[in-house]
Amino acid sequence: MKVELIDVDGHNFPNLPLMKISAYHKTKGDSVRWHNPLTAWTDPPDRVYMSKVFTFTPEYEYPINAAEIIKGGTGYNYPNGGEPLPEEIEHIYPDYGLYGITNTAYGFLTRGCPRNCDFCIVGKKEGLCSRKVADLREFWKDQKEIKLLDPNILAAREHKELLEQLASSGAWVDFTQGLDARLLTEENIEIIKRIKLKMVHFAWDNIADEKLIVPKLQLFKEKTGIDKRKCTVYVLTNFNSTLQEDLHRIYKIRDLGMAPFVMVYEKQTAPKEIKDLQRWVNNRIIWYSTEKFEDYSGDTKTRRQGK
Ligand code: SF4
């Protein structure tokens, strides 16, 4: 069988389902390659898989000549994410070579999240319970780096066992989707301390969570002494907060010795001041050289309020 793949979003971040689909077909002896719209007219594939993660990514622009076309991903199935991959594909060791990746492993140890935040599709797609779905060895074979994609690993009953697996790996670990600061405890911080942290992300999305989140971030900083270059806290903006509330979170995170990172909900239609805020914070050259937002934006209204 001739199988071809299309990563509709582009190649900025490797598409894990496509790497698993590739591995699955290769184990069956099928030929797998990236789809080429030109060669497909003279040598049409039997099946084309198209994967699209983001809803805002435009549809693939070329006509596809194939006996069968299978589309998947949240970009095609918002908000429920569509059908999950069949078990025999979901749990296969990914074909990292598809993207030329040699020393990084990507995967999920858990799926699901009980928080059900209004702006997030994880609960609708993966369920409202965080649960173990794999051991590390399922997608890691001694690569130097692990990029973990779990939405809320600390909410899983098995999280300590899974953190221990990450600590024992000796690999550099990047918790790409963030750890839920509200679920940090002295006990799980002790295990996290033994993990070689490449990067750790937290999120403070809602100003109302200050009393729950700030003391936990303080505890994490105190116990780990983590450098701000390795510890980022996402700040959701343009959802249900004012600019003043956004600035309050940003300054507080900086005071904690961590690095804020502004996320903009529906960025395409966000007001200019939010886009300016994002640039001020996320461009680290500007961030470390300009202490106050009003000094960057020239916003006299913010300056008068002394924020
Ligand atoms: S805690 Fe994170 S993963 Fe869970 S619903 Fe909220 S944003 Fe999504």
What confidence tens digit (pLDDT) does each residue in 82-108 have?
788 999 999 999 999 999 999 999 999
Burial 49-61 (b: 16+ CB within 10 A, else e): bbbbbeeeeeebe
Tell which wins on pLDDT, 82 or 8: 8
Identify the pLDDT of residue 97: 97
- CA-nearest of 105, 3, 5 to 52 is 5
Q: What is the C-alpha to C-alpha distance for residues 94 and 25, in angstroms, rounded to an integer?
A: 11
Nearest CA to ligand 1 atom 3: 151
Average of pLDDT values for 265-290?
A: 94
Number of domains in the chain: 1
In a domain, 15, yes or no: yes
User: Is 160 inside a domain boundary?
Assistant: no
Evaluate whether residue 166 is within a structural domain.
no
Contact residues for 221 (Cβ-Cβ < 8 A; gap 6+): 231, 256, 257, 258
Name the average pLDDT for the chain.
93
Residue 80 resides in a domain:
yes
Determine the average pLDDT of the residues in 56-73.
92
pLDDT, position 305: 47
Q: Provide the residue type at 75 as one letter.
A: G
Judge whether 76 lies within some domain.
yes
* pLDDT for position 77: 86
What is the per-residue pLDDT for 91?
97
Which position has the higher pLDDT, 77 or 157?
157
Report cis status (omega within 30 of 0) of the bond before 45.
no
Q: Is 149 in the pocket of ligand 1 (CB under 6 A)?
A: no
188 pLDDT higher than 80? yes
pLDDT surpassing 50 at residue 300: no
**Integer CA distances (angstroms), 81 to 125, 161, 249, 278, in order:** 5, 28, 31, 28
Distance 274 CA to ligand 1 centre (A): 22
Q: Which among 115, 116, 126 is the best mutation to test ligand 1's pocket, defined by most ligand atoms within 8 Å of the CB?
A: 115
Q: Average pLDDT for residues 172-200, to the nearest whole number?
A: 95
Residue 279 lies in a domain: no
Residue 254 CA to residue 260 CA, distance in Å, equals 7
In this prediction, residue 268 carries a pLDDT of: 87
Domain of residue 39: give its range: 1-92
Question: In a 3-state reduction of DSSP, which class is residue 246?
Answer: helix
The residue among 108, 107, 99, 73 whose CA lies nearest residue 13 is 99
Question: Does any domain span residue 116?
Answer: no
Residue 218 banded pLDDT, cuts 50, 70, 90: very high
- 149, 106 Cβ separation under 8 angstroms: yes
Give the pLDDT confidence of 112-136 residue by residue, as tens digits.
Answer: 999 999 999 899 889 999 999 999 9
Strand segments (E) across 118-270: 131-132, 145-148, 172-179, 196-203, 231-237, 259-264
In this prediction, what percent of the chain has a pLDDT beyond 90? 84
| In-domain check, residue 39 | yes
pLDDT of 3 above 50: yes
pLDDT band at residue 47, thresholds of 50, 70 and 90? very high
Q: 248: Cβ below 6 Å to ligand 1?
A: no
Would you say 260 and 229 are in contact if contact means Cβ atoms under 8 Å apart? no
pLDDT for the residue 81: 74
